[in-house]
Structure 1
Amino acid sequence: MITHLHTLSGHQNPIYALANSNKMGAFFSAGNDKGVVEWSLETMSFAKIILPVQSSVYALHIYKDLLFIAQRSGLIQVFDLLEQKVKATLSHHQKGVFDVKTIAYKNEIISTGEDGTVAVWSLNDFSLLYNFPVIQNTVRTIALNKNEKEVALGCKDGIIRIYNSEDYALIKELAGHQFAVTALQYSPDDTYLISGSRDAQLKIWNLPDYNLLETVPAHMFSVYAIVFHPTLPYFATCSQDKSIKLWDSRNFKLYKILSLEKNTPGHSHSINKLIWSYDGKYLISTGDDRQVMVWELIP
């Protein structure tokens, strides 16, 4: 079903962030070694360093021809992929920025991180529109539902906070995890929200009421990413326990474990990030071992 295809080497330090390119067959990676790298899926090789950065990159986010580069310094650089230059630098956060998302219907960008605040920026001129505090410490991850009207924030206190994106009013708090919430995704059909945590569990929250539907003991340590396949009923998770797992997104059955401990190819350290390629043919993983692995999905 899913097999190791290629390992891409070149980063000198742990990698924290991945994002698909604005063009098919390419993607970006970045982490603790001061550069954002472009890779080719067509040649399975290094393409170029697109931008040097001054501090570690914790998140990458693509929107149209813009790449948002969120850094440990608190800055977010906006890189124009067509013009190949930095278009703006967003400065508000006092500590590292862990996640960035766009809310297209409002033409806004939202960011959050270690300072526990959410900043809302204009996509028109990249000005700071407003900001608000969420908790006293880290907000790790952001998820948007299908129509982008609800924003879920995964927080260090183990609580998921749901906001209305129209006015950023707090709708609901979901208390289910024992430790920090480190991964969040709404299902593509908007029937549930799935969360992962340092408690190594996945929790399935039924929509629209956010009632807890199911708890899945998914990994041995922190769950760092949850990614739904773009067309097929699967999602993948990765963890500090050095494993990738493939799940059925309808009944949450475990299909496959990719791990050195299970005698498959795999990462030797914590896996920090996953993405699917746009066409869903490849799953891409990376982490503390400085390797980028490409896995091929054969339905």
Structure 2
Amino acid sequence: MLKHLHTLSGHQNPIYALASAEDPTRFYSAGNDKGVVEWSLTDMAFVKIIVPVQSSVYALHRYNNLLFIAQRSGLILVFDLKQQKTLATLSHHQKGVFDLKTIAHKDELISTGEDGIVAIWSLKDFSLLYHFPVIPNTVRVIAVSTDEQQIAIGAKDGIIRIYRTEDYSLVNELQEHTLPITALQYAPNGDYLISGSRDAQLKVWSLPEYTLINSIPAHMFSIYAIVFHPSLPYFATCSQDKSIKLWSSTDFKLYKILSIEKGTEGHFHSINKMIWSQDGRQLISTGDDRQVMVWDVTA
């Protein structure tokens, strides 16, 4: 179901972030280099560095023609992809920013990171609207429910906290993981939330009650990303154990393992991030080995 198509080289340091472009044949990557890179899926080639950065990039998030660039310094750059210029620099976090998401119906950007604070920003004028502490240390990941009514926040203490987006009030705490939460994703059909952790477990929480319905010993080490295919009933996970796994999104059956240790093409270091191409024809993965790998979806 996934076959290695191409490996893109050029980054000189570990890569932490990927984002799709408005053009479905392009995407962006960034990490411990000094710039955000644009790539072509048509030519399987480097296109250009779209914007220089002053510190490592931990997260990229595209919303329409805006690319938000979260850095180790705590700054978030707002880059206009059409005008090809930086519109704003968002400054509130005192430490690295690890994740960014948007709440489209509220015109809001959410950021969080190493300082344990969640910040809410206006997408209209990029002003800071609200902020609140989650824990005294790292918050790693944010997931937005399909209807945008709730967000899930995954923290270093192993707890997943659920907040209403209406007023950002806390409505639930999920405490089944034994180590920090490193990946979260709501299912596209809105039926469940799936979480991954440094404990190498995937846990499935049915909605709306967030009842734990499945625990899967999915990987050997930390799970760093969970990505649902845009149209087909499966999702992929990647891990510090250097493997990518493809799962059914209906019965959680394991379909495929991509790993050098299993005799396939694969990364030779921790895999930090994955995205699907917008048309769902490719899976893109990257990590500490400085490689961007493109995988073709086959029947």
Give the TM interval when normalised to the shorter protein: over 0.9
User: Which amino acid in 2 is paired with 1:107?
Assistant: D
Match of 1:202 in 2: 202
1:71 maps to a residue whose letter is: Q
Match of 1:257 in 2: 257
Deviation at 1:252, TM superposition (A): 0.4
5+ residue gaps, structure 2, are: none
1:129 maps onto 2:129 in alignment? yes
The CA distance in 2 between the partners of 1:56 and 1:24, in whole Å, is: 26
Give the structure 2 partner of residue 222 of structure 1: 222
Q: Distance in 1 between matches of 2:168 and 2:114?
A: 19
Question: Which amino acid in the other structure matches residue 231 of structure 1?
Answer: S
Q: Does 1:272 align with 2:272?
A: yes
Q: String of CA shifts for 1:255-274, please: whole Å, max 9, x gaps.
A: 00000000000000000000
Q: Please give the alpha-carbon distance, in whole angstroms, between the structure 2 residues aligned to 1:273 and 1:3.
A: 18
Q: How far does the alpha carbon of each residue in 1:32-82 deviate from its partner, in whole angstroms, 9 at most, with x for none?
A: 011100000011100000011000000000000000000000000000000
- Find the residue that maps to 1:177 and give its secondary structure: coil
Q: Distance in 1 between matches of 2:104 and 2:214?
A: 31
Q: What residue in structure 1 maps to residue 28 of structure 2?
A: 28
Deviation at 1:147, TM superposition (A): 1.1
Give the whole-Å Cα distance in 1 for the aligned partners of 2:137 and 2:286.
26
Q: Kindly tell me the number of residue pairs found equivalent between the two proteins.
A: 299
Report the counterpart of residue 6 of structure 1 in structure 2. 6
What does residue 185 of structure 1 align with?
Answer: 185
> Which residue does 2:239 correspond to in 1?
239
Shift of 1:182: 0.2
Query: What letter is aligned with 1:228?
Result: F
Query: Secondary structure of 1:6's match?
Result: strand
Q: In structure 1, the residue corresponding to 2:49 is in which secondary structure? A: strand
SS of 1:273's partner is strand
RMSD across aligned C-alpha pairs, in angstroms?
0.4
Match of 2:296 in 1: 296
Partner secondary structure for residue 284 of structure 2? strand
Secondary structure class of the residue paired with 2:261: helix
- Residue 59 of structure 2 is matched in structure 1 by 59
Does the residue aligned with 2:235 lie in a helix, a strand or coil?
strand
Aligned to 1:120: 120
Q: Name the CA distance, whole Å, in 2 between partners of 1:111 and 1:147.
A: 19
Identity across aligned pairs (percent)? 73
- What's the CA shift for 1:111? 0.3
Helix, strand or coil at the partner of 1:69: strand
Q: C-alpha distance in 2, partners of 1:236/1:145?
A: 18
1:234 partner letter:
Y
Aligned partner of 1:167 in structure 2 is 167
What does residue range 25-174 of structure 1 map to in structure 2 within 5 Å? 25-174=25-174
Q: Distance in 1 between matches of 2:149 and 2:111?
A: 16
The Cα shift of 1:24 comes to 1.6
Report SS of the residue matched to 1:105.
Answer: helix
Q: What is the TM-score normalised by the length of structure 2?
A: 1.00
Letter in 1 for 2:167: D
Q: Secondary structure at the match of 2:105?
A: helix
Match of 2:287 in 1: 287
Residue type at the aligned position of 1:237: T
Which residue identity lines up with residue 82 of structure 1 in the other structure?
Answer: K
Residues in 1 aligned to 2:97 and 2:258: alpha-carbon distance in whole angstroms: 29
SS at match of 1:261: helix
